[in-house]
Amino acid sequence: MSDWPFDQIETCVAVTNKDIIHEGAPILHVSHDDEDHGWQFIGLDDAEEENIALVCMAEIVKLDPTVKEVAHIPPGWHAWRQHVGAEWEIEEYAE
């Protein structure tokens, strides 16, 4: 992808939920980890261990191209929205 906006390559592994991958649940929370610069694309609820899936970043963008709107958030920040199409809210994680 020539317009790839994330700081990780398309084949980099990201954390998501199984229901997002297999059932089409919406991505409502995106976090950019401070420690390893990894990305998480989940629902609004905390990810339960048994519901976690690992996929490449390109697969996430294929499922929901609107996540590119928050690709600019720096490590240690996160974004969330109430539903797909809603405005993303962005803030730094509290320490």
Q: What is the pLDDT of residues 13-59, one digit of tens each?
A: 999 999 999 999 999 999 999 999 999 999 987 667 888 999 999 99
The residue assigned the tokens 């991505």 is 27
Q: What is the pLDDT, as a whole number, of residue 15?
A: 95
Backbone dihedral region of 37: left (phi > 0), alpha (psi from -120 to 50 degrees) or beta? left
**For the segment 58-72, what is each residue's pLDDT rounded down to a tens digit?**
999 999 999 999 999
Rounded average pLDDT over 86-95:
90
Q: What is the pLDDT, as a whole number, of residue 38?
A: 95
Q: What is the pLDDT, as a whole number, of residue 53?
A: 94
DSSP, residue by residue, the chain: -TT--SSS-TTSEEEEEHHHHHH-----EEEE-TTT--EEEE-SSPPPGGGEEEEEHHHHHHH-GGGGGGTTPPTTEEEE-SSTTSPPEEEEPP-
If you average pLDDT over every residue of the chain, what do you get? 93
Distance (Å, rounded) from C-alpha 80 to C-alpha 67? 10
